[in-house]
A and B are shown apart, each in its own frame.
Chain A
Amino acid sequence: MDILIQQVVSGLATGGIYGSVALALVMIYEATDIVNFAQGQMAVVSTYIAWSLLNAGAPYWAAFLATLAISFVGGLLLERIVIRPVEGAPVLTVVIVCIGLLVILNSVLGWIYSYIQKPFPSPFPDRPIRIGNVYFGAHDVGALAITVLVLVALYAFFRFTTLGLAMRAAAQNPASSRLCGIRVGWMLAIGWGLASLIGAVAGMMVAPIVTLDPNMMAGILIYAFASATLGGFTSPGGAVLGGLIVGVIENLVGTYVHFIGTELKLTVALAVILIVLLVRPSGLFGRAAVHRV
């Protein structure tokens, strides 16, 4: 029983990581209607910025906030400079530009910082929390809390603010949005900025666990995609929940289904998602696209 609980707990911890990155993915999808393959790499860039600030002696939370600000502006500028020229081009063209961005950022980071992984501090205590025979990593709990906090903030932003509403509108129907006086280009840019900011949070929460290197997000991004798919790409809450579910399923399958063991754990996790998609083609919490004939 203890091991079951411990596996669930550690699954939740890992799932929290997936969820936070998935949240950033969903966010940019909601705000810009594209899936940004460079999302994870942007988060790594943000984390390196934080690392540099910390290394220069900045206190943690100051560096944290500064990183958020820089990331927001950075994401905004990336959209204005890199993505804008292909605004209105076919979706796949934009996807390729994102892939280009991904490899550029990865390569440049490796060039500047080398590929050696760097320890990254956690704002939470080092000592694990122990309840009975089950251990909770303090950082895991803290990171999950921050993810949920970001989620709530996002929900409020999109639900209750005019800017949030305008961003959703711009992503759904750019032409009509213009007719409402919405500056669609800027909405997309703000969307990128926000997604980049969320990515920064995710990056800074992930880095203490997996250590910082330019490829830090590569594996996580895969799981984040899976989580977002499972939860439904149109649902931020679903993305976080999807992450937690993937984390837990993966651990339980790896532990209890012996002929699969850890070797095919990813495959099984993916198969589960596939099955979910077949039953609910827009993910667990996603919104089905409206079709009218």
Chain B
Amino acid sequence: MALLEVRDLEAQYGWTKVLHGLSFAVEEGGITTILGANGAGKTTTLRAVCGMVKTRGEVRFDGRAIAGRATEDLVRLGIAHVPEGRGTFVNLTVEENLRLGAYARAGRGSLADDLQAAYRYFPVLAERKRQLAGTLSGGEQQMLAVARGLMLRPKLLLLDEPSLGLAPLVVREIFRIVRTINQEQRVSVLLVEQNAAMALRLADRAYLMETGRMVMSGSASELREHDTVRRAYLGY
């Protein structure tokens, strides 16, 4: 069953239309990735799902229509969005950042347990928990951003370019953790990524996006074998 289902989604910034009737789905428990060239509208798609831009079309989450609802309400339904550029609170400590991640689910489950879990996935954060987030390196900030998303105990995790600006080793580390999380916590993941090789290896389902439309979809391995994708995204 699809956890997230998007049909005919349109969105615009000012006078420029960015999404032109987009449809896709994220399976429950799976990892879905959206590939696409620079400027294809991938980031906008995630923002549209979260109610951060004005949209038209249908978005269903967990069987409920959610299009047009406020971002903060969607978060309460269990959608955690780790935005491009990470969106850390640079003037708050690492632990405060994590506590904020759990803000919308206040009451459900123990905060301490979740902090423990986050620190287990990302041991480096435990070392830095009293430090201001602004003093972390890029990789650590990305980990913090993912960890903050996890604190929500989300059903769906939206990851926007987690590899951006990160060293290969760190990218692999983060992807490894995302997979672990997906398996251990049964969190579904929607991943937008330039690093197609990594993304396709991680995901079980993939979409290819061009100028605001989905032009191809299939299982990750299917796309990996596809000529166009190979040439443009994988380079062999």
A and B in direct contact, judged by CB atoms within 8 A: yes
**Does A183 interact with chain B (Cβ within 8 Å)?**
yes
Query: Given the known A-B contacts A166-B103, A180-B101, A180-B103, are A173 and B89 also in contact in the complex, defined by CB atoms under 8 Å?
Result: yes
A166 to B87, CA, bound (A): 15
**Does B205 interact with chain A (Cβ within 8 Å)?**
no
**Contact residues in A for B50 (Cβ distance below 8 Å):** 179
For the complex, count residues of B whose C-beta is within 8 A of A.
Answer: 28
B152–A181 CB distance below 8 A: yes
Q: Which of B76-105 contact A (CB under 8 A)?
A: 76, 80-81, 83, 87-92, 96, 99-101, 103-105
Nearest chain-A residue to B50 (Cβ)?
Answer: A179
Q: Which of B99-113 contact A (CB under 8 A)?
A: 99-101, 103-106
Query: Given the known A-B contacts A165-B99, A290-B134, are A180 and B148 also in contact in the complex, defined by CB atoms under 8 Å?
Result: yes
Provide the A167-186 mask, 1 if CB < 8 A to any CB of B, else 0. 01100110111111111100
A166 to B52, CA, bound (A): 19
Q: Which of B24-40 contact A (CB under 8 A)?
A: none
Contact of A179 among B83, B90, B92, B134 (CB under 8 A): B83
**Contact residues in A for B52 (Cβ distance below 8 Å):** 175, 178
**Contact residues in B for A166 (Cβ distance below 8 Å):** 100, 103
B87–A182 CB distance below 8 A: no
B72–A162 CB distance below 8 A: no
B83–A176 CB distance below 8 A: yes
Nearest chain-B residue to A183 (Cβ)?
Answer: B72
**Does A280 interact with chain B (Cβ within 8 Å)?**
no
Contact of A290 among B71, B80, B91, B152 (CB under 8 A): B91
B100–A169 CB distance below 8 A: yes
A184 to B71, CA, bound (A): 11
**Does B75 interact with chain A (Cβ within 8 Å)?**
yes
For the complex, count residues of A whose C-beta is within 8 A of B.
Answer: 20
Q: Closest CB-CB distance, B147 to chain A, in whole Å?
A: 13
A173–B99 CB distance below 8 A: no
Nearest chain-A residue to B132 (Cβ)?
Answer: A290
B91–A181 CB distance below 8 A: no
Q: Which of A149-196 contact B (CB under 8 A)?
A: 162, 165-166, 168-169, 172-173, 175-184
**Contact residues in A for B89 (Cβ distance below 8 Å):** 168-169, 172-173, 176
**Contact residues in B for A178 (Cβ distance below 8 Å):** 52, 70-72, 75
A89 to B20, CA, bound (A): 29
A175 to B99, CA, bound (A): 17
Q: Closest CB-CB distance, B96 to chain A, in whole Å?
A: 6
Q: Closest CB-CB distance, B13 to chain A, in whole Å?
A: 15
**Contact residues in A for B72 (Cβ distance below 8 Å):** 178, 181-184
Q: Closest CB-CB distance, A144 to chain B, in whole Å?
A: 30
B99–A176 CB distance below 8 A: no
A179–B81 CB distance below 8 A: yes
- List 4 extra interface pairs beyond A180-B75, A180-B152, CB under 8 A: A165-B103, A178-B75, A179-B83, A181-B152
A-B pairs, top 5 by smallest CB distance, nearest first, are A181-B104, A181-B75, A176-B87, A290-B134, A178-B71
Q: Enumerate 26 A-B pairs (CB-CB under 8 Å) in ascending A order.
A: A162-B99, A165-B92, A165-B96, A165-B99, A165-B100, A168-B89, A169-B89, A172-B92, A175-B87, A176-B87, A178-B52, A178-B71, A178-B75, A179-B50, A179-B71, A179-B75, A179-B80, A179-B83, A180-B101, A180-B103, A180-B104, A181-B72, A181-B103, A181-B105, A182-B100, A292-B134
